[in-house]
Structure 1
Amino acid sequence: MWRLAGSLPALVAVIIVTFVLTRVLPGDTATYFAGPTASAESIAQIRAALGLDRPLPEQFWSYVQALARGDLGMSLTTGQPVLVDIMNRLPASAELTLFGLLIAMGIAIPLGVLAAVKQGSLADHLCRVVVTAGVSLPVFFTGLLLVYVFYYLLGWSPAPVGRLDAFASAPPFITGFYLVDAALARDWETWHSALAQIILPACTLGLFALAPIARITRASMLAVLGAEFIRTARASGLSSRTIILTYALRNALLPVVTTLGMVFSFLLGANVLVEKVFAWPGIGSYAVEALIASDGAPVQGFVLTMAILYVLLNLTIDLVNRALDPRARHS
């Protein structure tokens, strides 16, 4: 509870900064939506209707009052409330991010453990190469490269046209995750279509997330393997498998869990470029389209949503760390 209360000043700062930035960025919302042939009088009428002709403090006070009612404003590009748009698009971004993080975890954690156990081996060198590639390659370049190789050259992947191909329909809405909803509805044709569409963008995000997870796993395992209680366990005659999996890995997971939370929150924002490359209908592409149109309400709603998710993820990380570390529970 105290941690949540301590995050409130950060959320207030996010609200103020995003409001100011959407007002000072180049571009005029009224001019954009009035059209290139609109007269100055028409533009002034649109600006007055949107409340953009009022002083900034008055606009900010109206925005805060609307936030208190749970109203994030109207999107001029879609004609719907921003909250409705975000709730419709957030599952797509969350599913893509979770899938990419699972791919990264499935590769990075075993690779980091193996690199720490066998220093100087082929696995250790492979871990360094993967970490370097993940840090060096821009995420949009990786996405375009995967599309070029697996869709254009090899033809193994479907066209990057969103969450489903043109011949599949969305499953009944339950969680908003197409893979989960299609499985619950036993619609395996849609499930296979959703899986085929998500693999390339998820691998793009997964490669980007591999680097910090593998690096932290390797460093944490090296620190734990050099600890005194590991030497005692070896002197007691315990097998290497028991020492690594039961004693070393559990103690090494604490910084890894913290890194996973930070990587997940960062991926939610970084998948903006991935969503544009693969035409993924998530909140990242939604925010970019609104920013191009100088539509401030969706941009403010996107940033505020990311800030709230970041706070919730930090709270979740604290709870998981307390569950893994008895010292944190007692403190």
Structure 2
Amino acid sequence: MTTLARSRLVGWRLLQAIPVIVGIIIVSFLLTRALPGDPAAYFAGPAADAASIEQTRVSMGLDRPLPIQFVTYVQDLVRGDLGISVSTGQPVRQELATRLPASLELTGFALLFSVAIAMPLGILAATRPNTWVDHLCRAVVTAGVSLPTFFTGLALIYVFYYLLGWAPSPMGRLDFLYLPPPKVTGFYVIDALLARDLETARATLAQLALPAITLGLFTLAPIARMTRAAMLQILEGEFIRTARAAGLPRRQILLTYALRNAVLPVITTLGMVFSFALGANVLVEKVFSWPGIGSYAVEALVVSDYAAVQGFVLTMALLFVTLNLIIDVIYTLVDPRLGMEE
């Protein structure tokens, strides 16, 4: 695949993303206005009278017609202004920039854990169908899908923190005995390693362990299932039979020929799983007091914080579009047959 073809692919994907982003902006604006509750009443305080609430509503611009509010909102977006959060009084952009790395770090480590378990398990199940390994894979997949994340998280806390005392207290990204590392990327583990602070890096990994395992157990099911199904299909192919007839080693057949072709649908599944996990880690963040954007969005929904909810939805949409673009490019690089011709 040539460089020009790759540039065309990226450009075409970006053009396809524009109407998606526009639609999300419109839908999120309308849906937030349909939320129950009055943000003006919340911001004015419980002791405010009707006149004070109305004055607050005017100052927030909620008294104007919806089309005018939407135009103002779009103008602010063009300037990079996501508004002020009613619940915290801080700029939404600043809040999201602070909380987003925490959610990405948790989701990333959860995905690494699930891939490390799911792919070898799926490969073993495909190479030994209807054996105890295959049955174990099915049991793990069923348990991962069936158990709610909040139940798994509470069970892990009870066993490893309360009973055994192996895990630190589930109270955020870092124990109170440690100071956050100097901010470079926003990811505590990476920043601690960049600062050569191995003790803080170890403490950060210890805090990450239980929430990442909780989310990873929930996300490994589709990865293991897709790996098993793809490997079974590839192992029944004619080129695999030819490789076996040629006397090639079993390890070379599995890793060089079978896994290389089976990894294509797995890559697509990884993109969908990452997007799903990033949006579904709200319960995990609540159980472990993790200061991510999921818990921030829930708190904003409770008080009908329009700016915070819209900022969260828009941020998630941009992340999903970017992730899908990356997956498309990686997929094309892995399988050149899917590349665009000049």
With normalisation by structure 2, the TM-score equals 0.95
**Partner residue in 2 for 1:190:** 200
Match of 1:135 in 2: 145
- Residues in 1 aligned to 2:167 and 2:243: alpha-carbon distance in whole angstroms: 48
Q: Does 1:75 find its partner at 2:75?
A: no
Give deviations 1:133-161, integer Å, cap 9, x for gaps.
11111112211221122112222111110
Inter-CA distance 11–330: structure 2 relative to 1 (3 Å threshold): closer
1:70-121 C-alpha deviation (Å, 9 max, x unpaired): 1111112222211111111111111000000000000000000000001112
- Partner of residue 277, structure 1: 287
Q: Which moved more, 1:317-326 or 1:106-115?
A: 317-326
The counterpart of 1:109, out of the listed 100, 111, 119, is: 119
Match of 1:32 among 24, 35, 42: 42
Q: Which letter maps to 1:314? A: N
SS of equivalent to 1:294: coil
Give the Cα separation in 1 of the matches to 2:21 and 2:136. 41
The answer to whether the aligner puts 1:218 opposite 2:258 as a matched pair is no
Query: Shift of the alpha carbon at 1:195?
Result: 0.8
Residue identity opposite 1:298 in structure 2 = A
- Which string of whole-angstrom CA distances, capped at 9 and with x for unpartnered residues, describes residues 258-311 of structure 1? 000110011110111111111111111111111122211111111111111111
Report which stretch shifted further, 54-63 or 214-223: 54-63
- 1 CA distance for matches of 2:245 and 2:138? 31
Residue matched to 1:295: 305
Tell me which amino acid in the other structure corresponds to 2:107. Answer: T
Conserved? CA contact 2:28–2:313, under 8 Å: yes
One-letter amino acid matched to 1:252: A
What letter matches 1:305 in structure 2?
T
1:43 match: secondary structure: helix
The residue number in structure 2 matching 1:199 is: 209
- Structure 1 residue corresponding to 2:330, chosen from 314, 320, 327: 320
| 1:241 equivalent among 246, 251, 257 | 251
Structure 2: runs of 5 or more not aligned? 1-10
Aligned to 1:94: 104
Does the alignment pair 1:120 with 2:145? Answer: no
Task: Give the unaligned 5+ runs of structure 1.
Answer: none
**151, 156, 162: which one pairs with 1:146?**
156
- Find the counterpart in structure 1 of residue 7 from structure 2: none
Q: Does 1:65 align with 2:75?
A: yes
User: Matched residues, percent identical?
Assistant: 66
1:230 aligns with 2:279: no
3-state SS of the aligned residue for 2:30? Answer: helix
Q: Provide the rounded CA distance (Å) in 2 between the counterparts of 1:330 and 1:119.
A: 37
Say which structure, 1 or 2, has more relative contact order (CA 8 Å, 6+ apart): 2
Distance 1:75 1:18 in 2: 16
Structure 2: distance between partners of 1:198 and 1:85: 21
Following TM superposition, the consecutive aligned residue runs of length 4 or more in structure 1 with deviations greater than 6 angstroms are none
**Once the 2 structures are TM-superposed, how far is the Cα of residue 324 of structure 1 from its aligned partner?**
0.9
Cα separation, 2, equivalents of 1:271 and 1:229: 41
Q: Distance in 2 between matches of 1:197 and 1:234?
A: 47
Shift of 1:330: 5.5
Alpha-carbon distance in structure 2 between the residues aligned to 1:196 and 1:36: 41
Residue in structure 2 matched with residue 161 of structure 1 by the alignment: 171
- Pair 1:251-2:261 in alignment: yes
